[in-house]
Amino acid sequence: MDVDASKPVAIVTGANTGIGRETALGLAKAGMKVFLACRNADKAREAATYIRQSCSHIPGGQADVDILVLDLQSLQSVRKCATDFKSRNLPLHLLVNNAGVNPIHIPGPPWYTAEGVGVSAQINYLGPYVLTRLLEENLVAAAPSRVVNVSSIRHRQAKMHDPVYHDVLREKFLRDFEAASYTEAKLANILFTFELQRRWQGKGVQACAVDPGAVASDIWKRTKYNRPPWKWLAKIAFAPTWDGALPVLHAATSPLVHDDAQLQNTTASLRLFARGAFAWPMVVAPTLSEFVLVCAVALDWQIRNLSSYCWGRRRRRRKSTNRSGSSRLSNCKEVPANPIAYDANLASKLWTLSAEIAGLPV
């Protein structure tokens, strides 16, 4: 296989549809070689074709897109995906852990992996954790490199128990199938992100998390929100997938932290990005009420879309266009996470337990 060594390399998980596909498209347009890591190889090929066609008008040639098979439900599949990528002898400049699921989307009775992990924790947290750990060598080889973990506003409602004993985390988080564990899994994404930053920044690998907001992606396909009247309301309230990908792309391409003082100040280097209503002070406050969450979801896209329209009209008068209609309301910002996410003791315990379950060195 011919490899263009001048191109930075990225992997985007769950890139066959939704935010992941649009993120991969944005990275391909930026000149990166992008691997689409997806459970269904046929759908991944369809997404690759979509990306190539979308980039066909760009000067300089066709988008450089390839696929990897990755089923986050299985640690065996995660290991095989990492092995397949390593066999290509490529550095890895960017890993976007985007794929995820809400357990209410999984039909049938609760199930657990052979390691005793529930579906939400497996797909949303443990699978991405293991994939990232297995690709450490490639990320270090490409330093400065980056890991972006896609979280959710729901992480702000999560609470994790005292992590003094591993069995508490195992039973209350990793083995909890219920829908509420989705919030904990998304909090775990950020705990992992921040612990990754603490452990790997000295190796030239930096990590950040992102809240993409409420997006009309396929994650809602098997829920009540895909039936009238919820489907109509969701279409109005939720942003399109291309919009949801913009904060992810911002997190993936924003300037890396190079200031030694900031890197040594661990808290200052722990980064979470959000935009629009999801960056409002009342939303990122230490406690998030259900009412404020609903208001943020319901108003975010409408307010930004109206602002973008007005901004776009003003720009069109100047004979220029802007698809995203960028305005101050659409700017992506660094925001504080759930205060629990900064608990270094909890993050370290979660890292250790995850390593033990996956058979990885701590």
pLDDT of residue 318: 45
| C-alpha torsion angle, residues 134, 138, 142, 145 (rounded to 10) | -20
Active site residue 342: no
Asked whether residue 60 carries a pLDDT value surpassing 70, the answer given is: no
Longest dimension (CA), the chain: 63
User: pLDDT tens-digit profile of 248-303?
Assistant: 999 999 887 666 656 565 667 899 999 999 999 999 999 899 999 989 988 998 88
Q: What percent of the chain has pLDDT over 70?
A: 77
Residue type (1 letter), 165:
Y
Residue closest to 60 by CA, chosen among 6, 15, 104: 6
Residue 65: beta bridge partners? 34
pLDDT confidence band for 182 (50 / 70 / 90): confident
pLDDT of residue 324: 45
Residue 230, pLDDT score: 61
CB atoms within 10 A of CB 136: 18
Write out pLDDT tens, residues 111-168. Answer: 778 888 888 889 999 999 999 999 999 999 999 999 999 999 999 998 876 554 456 5
Contacts of 143 (CB under 8 A, 6+ apart): 203, 204, 205
pLDDT of 50 reads 95
What is residue 260's predicted lDDT score, i.e. its pLDDT? Answer: 60
Q: Are strands 205-210 and 94-97 parallel, antiparallel or unpaired?
A: unpaired
pLDDT band at 106, cuts 50/70/90?
low
| Residue the block writes with tokens 């657990």 | 112
312 against 340, higher pLDDT = 340
Task: Report residue 317's pLDDT band, with 50, 70 and 90 as the boundaries.
Answer: very low
Residue type, 93: H
Q: Using alpha carbons, list the distances in angstroms from residue 255 to 28, 99, 259.
A: 18, 24, 11
What is the rounded CA–CA span in Å between residue 229 and residue 287? 30
pLDDT of residue 90: 96
pLDDT computed for residue 307 by the predictor: 73
Which of the following is catalytic: 125, 182, 309, 342?
A: 182
First and final C-alpha spacing in the chain: 35
**Angle between helix 75-86 and 127-134 (nearest 10):** 30
Collapsed DSSP state (helix, strand, coil) of residue 227: coil
Two tokens, residue 291: 């009412």
Return the structure tokens found at 84.
């397949």
pTM: 0.89
